[in-house]
Amino acid sequence: MRIRVAEDILKANDLIAQDIRSILDSARVFCVNILGSPGAGKTTLLEATLPRLRERYRAAVIQGDVETSIDGERMEALHVPVVQINTQGGCHLSAPMVSGAIGDFDLTETDLLFIENVGNLVCTASFALGEDMKVTALSVTEGDDKIRKYPTIFLNSKVLVITKTDLLPHVDFDFDKVAREAKLLNPDIHVVPVSAKTGAGIDNWLALLGKHIAVS
Amino acid sequence: MRIRVAEDILKANDLIAQDIRSILDSARVFCVNILGSPGAGKTTLLEATLPRLRERYRAAVIQGDVETSIDGERMEALHVPVVQINTQGGCHLSAPMVSGAIGDFDLTETDLLFIENVGNLVCTASFALGEDMKVTALSVTEGDDKIRKYPTIFLNSKVLVITKTDLLPHVDFDFDKVAREAKLLNPDIHVVPVSAKTGAGIDNWLALLGKHIAVS
């Protein structure tokens, strides 16, 4: 019975996600759904990304949080259009929430829409939001067993950004093992190590993002 | 309508949690539900805790994971009775899952039952499992904004263990701010900084645990 409810919710969600995708496609907006645990560095990745995209793309951000507008304020400081969605306890963004939010943007003035999801490595994985691709951030401090322990999110992602690589000397994290397990699980996934703190790898991440936008 | 479904599930869960609590109380088993993000250091905290409790308490572990038995195997290496629950995609343990698992232990030979929940700072917060107390692990690498961003879990916890303090020199994490915000939100919460790597603070954590067991 509970599974049936979950299936119905997912089915309803997917229909609305398809609508969002059509609207964004018509407006030629490329949409990236950014996922990861609390503290994986999703907002920090966006802070490292948005200023460097400014000359090529007009970006906007939907910021999903359980509570507060802390991350939305960090985005506003970057002078991009931001809509904050508070899920009020909900553990993931859903397509209906995003559908309500995209009406607040001028899509004719937008090339690229980032959706930063709620910090959650489980529930966010199954809810399509109309994105062109899912990008999952995994920090080196979370440990190198996460691909096997939380496979769904990595199976559904086009890019795995390994964040906080500046901390590699201080933690036990086998990067090659993670990259290998991610590729075994999902041969199409791209794995990019970055440190928003030092800037290492950010160019590779931007190049990968640009390539996906170009072929969309 | 969706909220009603959630409420019904929570209500059914709580009834079973009360049953578990009665069974554990009758058997004089103190039960700790350990929560936190993926990679917060829950399993490592247990690895630092269990060997030091051996002379005082007979401990057992229920290990909750979405997939795999990686953490269950880490617990078995400590020579304690372990039951692994795989939620098969589910984002939190529920009382019915735990109810099925406690039958696998000899409760007359158990003083202390740890339940390590699925790595999730949102969904795990609302599901009682029959525990005497909830303990949430938050690592310094997750950032110092998490109390405000994910309040429910900290509101429901008796102890907040701040983990990986050995990494404090390498990250921006204001310990005093986190402790202050946790206490403002939940005046009854105890905040204990630990490093399982160096052993710092582990004695304080064990003393706090012992005190709660003693008054139960």
- Contact between B182 and B154 (Cβ < 8 Å): yes
Return the percentage of chain A with pLDDT > 70, whole number: 97
Instruction: Please give, rounded to a whole number of angstroms, the shortest distance from the CA of A93 to a CA of chain B.
Output: 13
**pLDDT tens-digit series, residues B56-97:** 999 999 999 998 899 999 999 999 999 999 988 889 999 999
CA distance B161 to B157: 10
Does residue B22 surpass a pLDDT of 60?
yes
Does residue A211 surpass a pLDDT of 90?
yes
What is the model's pLDDT at position A6? 56
Residue of A2, A65, A89 lying closest to B149 (CB–CB): A65
- Contact between A52 and A133 (Cβ < 8 Å): no
Instruction: Please give, rounded to a whole number of angstroms, the shortest distance from the CA of B178 to a CA of chain A.
Output: 14
* Alpha helices, DSSP H, located in A89-170: 95-102, 146-149, 151-155
Q: Which residues on neighbouring strands pair with residue B193, listed in sequence order?
A: B162
The torsion angles phi and psi of B107, rounded to 5 degrees, stand at -65, -25
Q: How many CB pairs under 8 A join A and B?
A: 120
Contact B166/A at CB under 8 A: yes
What is the model's pLDDT at position A133? 98
- Look up the ipTM and state it: 0.86
Task: Return residues 84-143 of A near B (CB < 8 Å).
Answer: 89-91, 118-123, 126, 139, 141-143
Does residue B53 surpass a pLDDT of 70?
yes
Mean pLDDT of chain A: 94
Residue of A37, A142, A149 lying closest to B65 (CB–CB): A149
Residue of A123, A146, A151 lying closest to B38 (CB–CB): A146
Of A86-90, A207-211, B152-156, the poorest mean pLDDT is in A86-90
Instruction: Please give, rounded to a whole number of angstroms, the shortest distance from the CA of B26 to a CA of chain A.
Output: 31
- In this prediction, residue B152 has a pLDDT band, given cuts at 50, 70 and 90, of very high
**pLDDT tens-digit series, residues A97-130:** 999 999 999 999 999 999 999 999 999 999 999 9
Contact A166/B at CB under 8 A: yes
What is the model's pLDDT at position B9? 74
- Contact between A113 and A62 (Cβ < 8 Å): yes
Q: Do B38 and A149 touch (CB under 8 A)?
A: yes
What is the model's pLDDT at position A179? 98
Q: Do A164 and B145 touch (CB under 8 A)?
A: no
CA distance A137 to A154: 10
Closest residue in chain B to residue A9, using alpha carbons only = B2
Residue of B146, B152, B170 lying closest to A38 (CB–CB): B146
- In this prediction, residue A88 has a pLDDT band, given cuts at 50, 70 and 90, of confident
**pLDDT tens-digit series, residues B106-137:** 999 999 999 999 999 999 999 999 999 999 99
Structure tokens at A187: 């041969």
Residue reference for tokens 């950032």: B143
Domains delineated in chain A: 2-214 (3.40.50.300)
Contact B171/A at CB under 8 A: yes
What is the model's pLDDT at position A2? 32
Spell out which residues of chain A touch residue B89, defining contact as CB-CB under 8 Å: 122, 126, 152
What is the model's pLDDT at position A5? 53
Spell out which residues of chain A touch residue B143, defining contact as CB-CB under 8 Å: 38-39
Return the percentage of chain B with pLDDT > 70, whole number: 97
Closest residue in chain A to residue B92, using alpha carbons only = A122
Contact A63/B at CB under 8 A: no
Does residue B183 surpass a pLDDT of 50?
yes
3-state secondary structure string, chain B? CHHHHHHHHHHHHHHHHHHHHHHHHHCCCEEEEEEECCCCCHHHHHHHHHHHHCCCCCEEEEEEECCCCHHHHHHHCCCCCEEEEECCCCCCCCHHHHHHHHCCCCHHHCCEEEEECCCECCHHHHCCCCCCEEEEEEEHHHCCCHHHHCHHHHHCCCEEEEECHHHHHHCCCCHHHHHHHHHHHCCCCEEEECCCCCCCCHHHHHHHHHHHHHCC
Does residue A210 surpass a pLDDT of 90?
yes
Spell out which residues of chain B touch residue A165, defining contact as CB-CB under 8 Å: none
Does residue A166 surpass a pLDDT of 70?
yes
- Best mutation target, A16, A93, A122, to test chain B (most B CBs within 10 A): A122
What value does the mean pLDDT take over residues A143-153?
A: 97
What is the model's pLDDT at position A62? 96
What is the model's pLDDT at position A10? 80
- Other residues' Cβ atoms within 10 Å of the Cβ of residue A104: 11
**pLDDT tens-digit series, residues A33-85:** 999 999 999 999 999 999 999 999 999 999 999 988 999 999 999 999 999 99
Mean pLDDT of chain B: 94
Return the percentage of chain A with pLDDT > 90, whole number: 90
